[in-house]
Structure 1
């Protein structure tokens, strides 16, 4: 199941680039100082003077600490909150084997199944989280019967695919205007 978890590539790339920049700057300053020719990309005298004269209750110190804390909390939030899945896990006959299907593929499959239901002229589907929403069109005036057929067809198809986790199906049918 670990392969089906969404990647968090953008927050990881931002964090990696920030750490790389800090590491390169530190290495450059350290190596140049050890060689006897400091690069002085960071104005150490000004930073040291500011640090010596600034108390923890100073507005600048509190603002800097607050910004660092907010950035840290945002990175933690990005790490904890699940992103959009790359693949939806499906059961197979083998308990040790799990297959995957892209959410877009599932959407197209569900829309095709809904379009084949009796009385349906066309259908569109959306998969959001664990909910499948189907919007179908019909030429019939009795949309309630068509709505039940669409919902049943989609639920049967989802049952046949056997996804891991339960999906709820909502069907909406529009008749002639």
Structure 2
């Protein structure tokens, strides 16, 4: 489990012995908590940074070598200049190049604006300036353990799909409807105890004896 500060001020964690989070004593800050664990676009940022670095190095080398009287000519300026002088804006090659450049720019802007898939699920704490995060796999395991502890459940497996908790359980009892209700109650109670930010729906399917 990971914790992160969401603002200034003293922290007052509210955790019971054994790592169980108690009910919050102050309102949490859901937006700040989600932003704290928002995944960073490392790959697009690295590509953009490398492209700008390469362009800067080429510009510096060409400028300094030209001032020294020995142009490096790492780039084919003559061919590019000739192509630009003989190509109209309405030409298919010019329009294609402009379109590709615009699409790449829009993609980079989209990557920067749209949030990626979070790696941690933010949990409420007793301090509005402190948030905790747990991996979705760990959260699914905790909810699965709660489902397995329900009366009549032989085994249970839980998966998290977006904001949906899907529980598949097996029982030796004939009354699968009653077991299913107990599984739903156990999982919902565990969700209430862990207090993830955002509303999660729970769906259970119980298989009886064959």
The normalised TM-score by structure 1 is 0.92
Structure 1 residue 143: Cα displacement: 2.1
Match of 1:61 in 2: 94
- Equivalenced residue count is 177
Structure 1 residue 60: Cα displacement: 0.4
Structure 2 Cα separation of the partners of residues 141 and 11 of structure 1: 54
Structure 2 Cα separation of the partners of residues 63 and 41 of structure 1: 24
Taking a change above 3 Å as real, the CA distance of residues 173 and 28 of structure 1, as seen in their structure-2 partners, is farther
Structure 1 position 25 matched with structure 2 position 58: yes
SS at match of 1:140: coil
SS at match of 1:82: coil
The farther-off stretch of 160-169 and 87-96 is: 87-96
Taking a change above 3 Å as real, the CA distance of residues 30 and 169 of structure 1, as seen in their structure-2 partners, is same
SS at match of 2:127: coil
Match of 2:131 in 1: 98
Taking a change above 3 Å as real, the CA distance of residues 175 and 23 of structure 1, as seen in their structure-2 partners, is farther
Structure 2 Cα separation of the partners of residues 35 and 3 of structure 1: 50
Structure scoring higher RCO (CA < 8 A, sep ≥ 6) equals 2
Match of 2:82 in 1: 49
Structure 1 residue 10: Cα displacement: 1.5
Structure 1 residue 53: Cα displacement: 0.8
Structure 1 Cα separation of the partners of residues 48 and 176 of structure 2: 52
Match of 1:71 in 2: 104
Structure 2 residue corresponding to 1:8, chosen from 33, 36, 41: 41
The normalised TM-score by structure 2 is 0.78
Structure 1 position 121 matched with structure 2 position 132: no
Structure 1 residue 169: Cα displacement: 1.1
Higher helix share: 1
Structure 1 residue 138: Cα displacement: 2.2
Unaligned ranges ≥5, structure 1: none
Structure 1 Cα separation of the partners of residues 113 and 172 of structure 2: 47
Q: What's the C-alpha RMSD, in Å, of the aligned pairs?
A: 1.5
Structure 1 residue 124: Cα displacement: 1.8
